[in-house]
């Protein structure tokens, strides 16, 4: 049987307000992650590695940084008709913004009409994970559903924060799609677990188009893919779940637990970075058979200097990007993005420092997220006293992580 024609659509229009101040100047999918990457690189890498090479990224809020990243990074072969392209809100159906993720696709139906795909793969743009979507769309074709929803088993008590999938006794057909239920349903044979939706969908094109048209006529709909389109197809008996834990990614060790994180809050964003710093990381960036792709900036290698008494340049259990200079300071359990400089006798612990940040002599940065091009002065302490941080106008998350906004200078 011939391979199906597939169009990838990545939903990248969310405002990401829970990640402020990191999203004050950029869309959520453009937020840097893991030293070198942007959040959107994970979804795009999974699609491209699986051979899905026609991809439209639907954007809306503060999209300049995201547009620039995709334009300069995600260049596929025009000779073969492949592309990754950003598609802003075009107001094709009238002078209005997207009112929801389903409306974003409805207003961009020209993309589907032009490509005439057999399947439309719709992925979110702001999760950290590694997945082979090919195994999902093959199950979709075998099962004959209108939509297949990727689900990850989570403990029932934690599922109240997610869209939840209730399956039939066969564990595959979806009986109900519940948005943040107070009492999530258990799985067949696993009553203490439930399927949380990952926000990734495979649609048969005709089923998607019919659902979008029906949803657009519903004045009570919020026009959301998970909240409205999937429940509509569930009601028709045309929805099934794909169990993410069965996904076998090339290069992953057998028996490795599948990793997926929704980094929609400052604390989850921070925790996902700490996952990278572990001796045996929960998420392995070093899988060469299924790489996370991005643009690597043209900077020199990282450099560590000074070895004199307590003035030693070193980094332990940390990720250090190119262009970083650790000059007589100590870095522990941290992620340093390109161009970060840590000066003598400074201490950086359990922190995420984005591009171009400078940490002055004898400064302390602890339990913090520091956005791009921040200057922290000599002897300044960030993250040590949360009341002092708040007095400086810094954000402190629910779990006590201090966040310094882009371009700040903190000299005392």
Helix (H, G, I), strand (E, B) or coil at 61: coil
Q: Which helix (H) or strand (E) holds 140?
A: helix 133-143
Is 206 annotated to bind a ligand? Reply is: no
Q: Which residues contact 104 (CB under 8 A, 6 or more apart)?
A: 11, 13, 58, 60, 89, 98
Is 175 annotated to bind a ligand? Reply is: no
- Rounded Cα distance, 374 and 395, in Å: 15
Is 98 annotated to bind a ligand? Reply is: yes
Helix (H, G, I), strand (E, B) or coil at 142: helix
Number of Cβ within a 10 Å radius of residue 397:
18
Is 163 annotated to bind a ligand? Reply is: yes
- Rounded Cα distance, 357 and 164, in Å: 40
Q: Which residues contact 85 (CB under 8 A, 6 or more apart)?
A: 55, 56, 57, 70
Q: What is the 3-state secondary structure (H, E, C) of 214-273?
A: HHHCCCCCCCCHHHHHHHHHHHCCCEEEEEHHHCCCCCCCCCCCCCEEECCCHHHHHHHH
What burial letters (b/e) apply to 286-296, b meaning 16+ CB within 10 Å? ebeebebebee
Structure tokens at 188: 């067949």
Structure tokens at 191: 């009553």
Helix (H, G, I), strand (E, B) or coil at 30: helix
Closest CA to 136 of 44, 29, 50, 9: 50
Helix (H, G, I), strand (E, B) or coil at 325: strand
Helix (H, G, I), strand (E, B) or coil at 56: strand
Please check whether residue 55 is in contact with residue 84, taking contact to mean a CB–CB distance below 8 angstroms. Answer: yes
Is 381 annotated to bind a ligand? Reply is: no
Structure tokens at 226: 């998970």
Residues placed in the known binding site for alpha-D-glucose 1-phosphate: 98, 163, 179-180, 197
Residues placed in the known binding site: 98, 163, 179-180, 197
């Amino acid at each position: 049987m011939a391979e199906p024609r597939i169009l990838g659509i990545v939903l990248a229009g969310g405002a990401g307000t829970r990640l402020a101040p990191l999203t004050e100047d950029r869309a959520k999918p453009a937020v840097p992650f893991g030293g070198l990457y942007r959040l959107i690189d994970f979804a795009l890498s999974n699609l491209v590695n699986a051979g899905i090479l026609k991809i439209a990224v639907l954007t809306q809020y503060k999209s300049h940084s995201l547009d620039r990243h995709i334009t300069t990074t995600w260049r596929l072969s025009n000779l073969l008709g492949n592309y990754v392209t950003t598609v802003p809100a075009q107001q094709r159906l009238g002078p209005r913004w997207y009112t929801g993720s389903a409306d974003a696709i409805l207003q961009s139906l020209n993309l589907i009409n032009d490509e005439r795909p057999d399947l439309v793969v719709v992925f979110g743009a702001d999760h950290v994970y590694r997945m082979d979507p090919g195994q999902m769309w093959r199950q979709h074709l075998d099962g004959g559903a209108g939509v297949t929803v990727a689900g990850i088993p989570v403990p029932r008590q934690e599922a109240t924060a997610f869209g939840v999938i209730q399956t039939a006794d066969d564990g595959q057909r979806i009986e109900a799609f519940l948005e943040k239920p107070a009492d999530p349903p258990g799985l067949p044979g696993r009553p203490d677990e439930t399927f949380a939706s990952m926000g990734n969908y495979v649609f048969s094109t005709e089923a998607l188009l019919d659902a979008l048209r029906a949803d657009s006529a519903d004045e009570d709909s919020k026009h959301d893919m998970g909240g409205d389109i999937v429940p509509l197809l569930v009601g028709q008996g045309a929805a099934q779940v794909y169990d993410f834990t069965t996904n076998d990614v090339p290069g992953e060790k057998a028996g490795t637990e599948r990793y997926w994180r929704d980094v929609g809050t400052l604390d989850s964003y921070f925790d996902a970075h700490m996952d990278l710093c572990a001796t045996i990381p929960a998420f392995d960036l070093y899988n060469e058979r299924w790489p996370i792709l991005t643009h690597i900036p043209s900077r020199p290698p990282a450099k560590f200097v000074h070895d004199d008494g307590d003035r030693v340049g070193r980094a332990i259990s940390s990720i250090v990007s190119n262009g970083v200079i650790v000059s007589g300071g100590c870095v522990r359990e941290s992620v340093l993005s390109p161009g970060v400089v840590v000066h003598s006798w400074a201490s950086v612990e359990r922190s995420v420092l984005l591009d171009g940040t400078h940490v002055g002599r004898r400064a302390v940065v602890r339990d913090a997220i520091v956005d791009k091009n921040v200057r922290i002065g000599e002897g300044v302490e960030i993250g040590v006293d949360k009341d002092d941080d708040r007095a400086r106008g810094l954000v402190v998350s629910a779990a006590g992580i201090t966040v310094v906004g882009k371009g700040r200078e903190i000299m005392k």
